[in-house]
Amino acid sequence: MERIGIDAGGSLIKIAYEEEGRLRLKTYSAKQIDEVVQWLEMIAPEAALHVTGGRAEALKASNKSISILKEFKCVIEGTKYLLLKENKLPKTDYLLVNIGTGTSFFHKTDRLSGTGIGGGLFTGIGAIIAGTSDYQSLVELASKGDRSKSDLMVSDIYQFNNSPIEASLTAANFGKDQLDKSVSVEDQMAALTQLIGETLVLLSSLTANSLETKEIVMIGGSLTGNPLLKQVIASFESMFDYNLTFLEKGKHAGAIGALYHDE
């Protein structure tokens, strides 16, 4: 292979390359930088590296031909590539939401804003709740929980009266008495997932509304292997009147954009 695209992020290192005419994708933990370098030396010692992301400089020690590219441009271009390949390109302008360690909001060629709410919050608070920061372990715990045992629901407040808003909505995240021993680690992780999903939905819908678009495309490592987070986000689609698109390979958008970057 002549070229490899790498997105060295805060939590994950994503790799994209072509082999026998097919796009190949790999993922490493950000802590596995030495393993990434060893893999590169073994599989393609002569390949040019197109690297983006906050940890891009860490790969300079690999003695390779390295081009460090602008992260936001790579994410945007990689997303366009995937939208075309997956036949999901919206007919109008769309808001791009990249949920990684944190979350960024893009429109056309610009990054509009961002928030620290994302996968880093999930693993950080998850470590306090569950005693582990392993992402998939935390996702599995959340999938088994009942967030209504931890969250104060609108239905809890309006038990004896008609609710003025949807009773299944959250009145206060983690608002129930945490001294209640029936609230398990699984329940709290489910509530944390709900908090993250709800917040990102609110920010995304407000941003999309300001752009006068109903099209929202979501990518990022925090969505990969986390069906509960996707479910939370998708559950508000009709309420906020937007059209939501998840990209199957969206976690690698930055690496794909770097791979196909036109010098």
> Catalytic residue positions?
71
Burial class of residue 101 (count of CB atoms within 10 Å of its CB; 0-12, 13-18, 19+): buried
Which of 133, 115, 114 minimizes the C-alpha distance to 123? 133
76 contacts 257 by C-beta, under 8 angstroms: yes
Burial class of residue 217 (count of CB atoms within 10 Å of its CB; 0-12, 13-18, 19+): buried
Beginning with the edge strand found earlier in the chain, give each strand of the sheet holding 95-99 in spatial order.
110-115, 103-107, 95-99, 215-219, 243-246
110 contacts 93 by C-beta, under 8 angstroms: no
Distance separating alpha carbons of residues 213 and 113, to the nearest angstrom? 16
- Indicate the helix (H) or strand (E) that contains 33: helix 33-43
Angle 8-230-237 (CA atoms, 0-180°, nearest 5)?
125
- Indicate the helix (H) or strand (E) that contains 42: helix 33-43
* DSSP 3-state of 115: strand
Distance separating alpha carbons of residues 2 and 216, to the nearest angstrom? 34
Distance separating alpha carbons of residues 147 and 187, to the nearest angstrom? 5
